Amino acid sequence: MTDRKENLLRVKERIAESARLSDRQPDDVTLIAVSKTFPSSAITELASYGQIDFGENKVQELVSKHQLIGNEYANHPILWHFIGHLQRNKAKDIVGHCNLFHALDSSRLARALDTRLKHAGQHLDCLIQVNVSGEASKFGLEPTEVDAFLDEIAEFSHVRIRGFMTLASPSPDAERVRPQFARLRHVLEASLDRLLPDSRPILSMGMSGDFHVAIEEGATHVRVGSAVFGPRSYGMTK
């Protein structure tokens, strides 16, 4: 068995275990394999083991990998997640290249996306990025801003709000960020009736070091990079 196959199985087992601890089914939690900086061949390798969801955080890298691989590989579907900060002038570039955008954080960006989507005759499922860490440097809305933000973007009908995403503070001890994940769950619970109707609400939280805790706190999507692909070395993005 290859390293990546073994990593994938190990992460999936851990996901299943945490799902059970929170009284859910393993299938209730989607693993997004964060493939940023890894070559397209790493994506198709994982796809051949049945992995469906992949995450990228740079527009150009998302677009070039999507153009190369497309929406399926060897009869396995592939779903693309854009998990990075998106500048308003690049909104047009992700349209048609991702299935779920995780980092909606301003009404100007929502407007730019909506305009492009309307022209393309498409809709895009989006998550609102919320800053639950209290750190000033992070992107995302404050939890207290979410309600007014939902009002502001209500007119943008091509942008479909499916839930919320957060980046917890990096910490060697995952337990320390548990309250941050709980905070995002509370944001979701308070906004449930304002999300796209008849669809499963999404909570995107948890990375390699803390996804087990995020799942216990209600994550429906975890974004796991290095625990699946191995350590990243920057500068190698093709």
Ligand X SMILES: *Cc1c(COP(=O)(O)O)cnc(C)c1O
Binding site for ligand X (CB under 6 A): 34, 36, 57, 83-84, 167, 207-208, 223-227
Residue number of the CB closest to ligand X reads: 225
* Closest distance of CB 65 from ligand X, Å: 15
**Four-residue CA torsion sign, 20, 25, 27, 31:** negative
Cα–Cα distance measured from residue 84 to residue 139, given in angstroms and rounded to the nearest whole number? 10
* Closest distance of CB 63 from ligand X, Å: 17
Tokens 């854009």, residue? 82
Nearer to ligand X, 163 or 225 (CB): 225
* Closest distance of CB 60 from ligand X, Å: 15
Q: 180 and 168 in contact (C-beta within 8 Å)? A: yes
Nearer to ligand X, 19 or 214 (CB): 214
* Closest distance of CB 102 from ligand X, Å: 7
Nearer to ligand X, 218 or 225 (CB): 225
Cα-based distances in Å from 110 to 86, 107, 123, 230: 11, 5, 12, 34
Nearer to ligand X, 113 or 207 (CB): 207
Q: 91 and 63 in contact (C-beta within 8 Å)? A: no
